[in-house]
Amino acid sequence: MPKLLLKDGTALVSGKMEKCDILISDGVIEKIGTGIECPSAETVDCSGLTLLPGFVDMHVHLRQPGFEYKETVKTGSMAAAAGGFTAVCAMPNLNPVADSPEHIKQELDIIERDAVIDVLPYAAITLGEKGQELSDIEALAPLCVGFSDDGKGVQSGEMMKKAMERVKKAGSFIAAHCEDESLLEGGSVHKGEFASHMGIKGISSASEYVQVERDVELAGQTGVRYHVCHISAKESIEAVRQGKKKGYSVTCEVTPHHVALCDMDIKSDDGKYKMNPPLRGAEDREAIFEGLRDGTIDCIATDHAPHSKEEKSRGLEKSAFGIVGSETAFSVCYTELVKGGVITLERLSELMSANPARILGRESGIEEGKRADIAVIDLEKEYMVKGEEFLSMGKSTPFEGMRLQAQVEATVCGGKIVYRRK
């Protein structure tokens, strides 16, 4: 692997921003300093640019195998690289579901062949994600990053407790999609002001927080490492906060769309605003801000969920749940949170890099001797979101036409440039 020299950038090194050069050799950061010269290295001029540790996304849907008309490992990992991500965790709701060593090995073969960044697959908690019978946790644990039935909540508390006990014994963790199906009522948006105004069935916050509260206590009883996916309701955030205070090993993530939008920001009867969990109320968004500030919320994850154009063109009630988010995640969060004065750039980096890496047991950070995973960003660059220009096969985004600040210029993964903006 040829050497790489990133010249004259401003990098987040050991928690502090400093002007420096970064010399990379054999995928590892060899030297950080000023005035570094290396004629044999490929040199990238980073003057005026900011270098952050590569982002780690704990929650994406890459759709392969089984749903290649929506996305593939190749297109999804390319989209993630374009967003500054150097590692993503792929959910198991595939065909076949990643619920056995045989099935997950099919996925791993595709990842080995096609991924342009690190792709770490989850295995399903239950067979077929049907909630009836546990997967072979022990056989799957060495092959997966963690366990999730994402897309569905585990309805039985007894089943979830058994899963937690076995997952803890196997040395892994659970990433839970919390959704009590008995409380859904066929809704398509948040059960709040917008739903009432439009006369659309709503999805209550209780459908999420009832399971979060249940699982946090079960995590306390079993001692398992437990992570709440795409947290959206103020009550859910409070449940995690209380679990942390009790010393339980609980963490959670929030998505950029729940950071930036609430239900009253929905502009039209358009599938690009339909996701699960839905955009909640303004008070939930305020609770998210508080959770980001006080450390209750550990990380930002995209829940990148591509669908075909047709599947997203049926309006709010009939479109598929899910939007894409890999390519806009940092820009959305920088614009809303850093420019908006909610948190600092250093805290945003922690939420998108250091914390998810820590939860996953991965190395992170721009330091000599560490693996070279770096996002190169123009913080001053403003651009308009155009879904049709995404590298992802999914084009549906609630940020369509919005002006965002901070654009990823290049991404270095394992010392290799895997994305460079044209």
Convert the pLDDT of each residue in 322-374 to its tens digit: 999 999 999 999 999 999 999 999 999 999 999 999 999 999 999 999 999 99
**Pairing between β-strand 202-203 and β-strand 225-228 as defined by DSSP bridges:** unpaired
Residue 139 has pLDDT above 90, yes or no: yes
**What pLDDT was estimated at residue 136?**
97
CATH code of residue 331: 3.20.20.140
- Residue 300 sits in the same domain as residue 380: no
- Residue 384 sits in the same domain as residue 295: no
- Across 314-325, average pLDDT: 97
Establish if 394 belongs to a structural domain: no
**What pLDDT was estimated at residue 304?**
98
- Across 175-197, average pLDDT: 94
- Residue 19 sits in the same domain as residue 76: no
- Residue 342 sits in the same domain as residue 407: no
Establish if 365 belongs to a structural domain: no
Q: Count Cβ atoms below 10 Å from residue 56 Cβ, excluding itself.
A: 28
Convert the pLDDT of each residue in 36-83 to its tens digit: 999 999 999 999 999 999 999 999 999 999 999 999 999 999 999 999
pTM (predicted TM-score): 0.98
- Residue 269 sits in the same domain as residue 347: yes
- The closest alpha carbon to 331, from 83, 142, 74, belongs to 83
Establish if 129 belongs to a structural domain: yes
- Residue 163 sits in the same domain as residue 186: yes
Q: Report d(CA 98, CA 105) in Å as an integer.
A: 9
Residue 206 has pLDDT above 90, yes or no: yes
Residue 185 has pLDDT above 90, yes or no: no
**What pLDDT was estimated at residue 1?**
84
CATH code of residue 18: 2.30.40.10
**What pLDDT was estimated at residue 312?**
98
Residue 157 has pLDDT above 90, yes or no: yes
**What pLDDT was estimated at residue 375?**
98
- Residue 192 sits in the same domain as residue 76: yes
Establish if 61 belongs to a structural domain: yes
pLDDT more than 90, % of the chain:
98
Establish if 395 belongs to a structural domain: no
Q: Report d(CA 364, CA 375) in Å as an integer.
A: 12
- Residue 271 sits in the same domain as residue 222: yes
Catalytic residues: 303
- Across 87-107, average pLDDT: 98
- Residue 45 sits in the same domain as residue 90: no
- Residue 44 sits in the same domain as residue 117: no
Establish if 57 belongs to a structural domain: yes
User: What integer best gives the mean pLDDT of the chain?
Assistant: 97
- Residue 382 sits in the same domain as residue 256: no
Please tell me the total count of domains within the chain.
2
Residue 388 has pLDDT above 90, yes or no: yes
Residue 238 domain boundaries: 53-360
Query: Structure tokens of 378?
Result: 């123009």
Establish if 240 belongs to a structural domain: yes
- Across 249-257, average pLDDT: 98
- Residue 167 sits in the same domain as residue 31: no
Convert the pLDDT of each residue in 26-35 to its tens digit: 999 999 999 9
Establish if 398 belongs to a structural domain: no
